[in-house]
Amino acid sequence: MGAGELVEFGKLMAAGLAMGLGAIGPGIGIGLLGAGAMQAIGRNPEATGQIQINMMLGIVFAEAVAIYALVVALIIKFV
């Protein structure tokens, strides 16, 4: 195994780890947001609209972190 192959292997491993670890946090966060919103709607159905708006905003911000991880993984892989 040559030095070039080791560098390529390292880049692929780093990209995979960056994406994998970068998606764990947002995945857990989105799950907690959904669970909390469902509990809140179950307790106060009249507030469904406001709860859903806030839930969607939270999901969008959490998903942005996963997109940043994807960008970093792509930069590692191709640069």
The CATH number of residue 22's host domain is: 1.20.20.10
Residues 6 or more apart whose Cβ sits within 8 Å of residue 27: 66
CA 25, distance to chain mean position in Å, is 6
* pLDDT for position 1: 75
Residue 29 φ then ψ, to 5°? -60, -45
Range 18-40 average pLDDT: 95
Please tell me the pTM assigned to this model. Answer: 0.82
Q: What percent of the chain has pLDDT over 70?
A: 100
Which residues form the domain of 34?
Answer: 3-78
Range 55-71 average pLDDT: 95
User: What are the tens digits of pLDDT across the range 33-50?
Assistant: 999 999 999 999 999 999
Work out how many domains the chain is built from and give that number.
Answer: 1
Rg over CA atoms, the chain: 19
Question: Alpha-carbon distance 41 to 8, whole Å?
Answer: 49
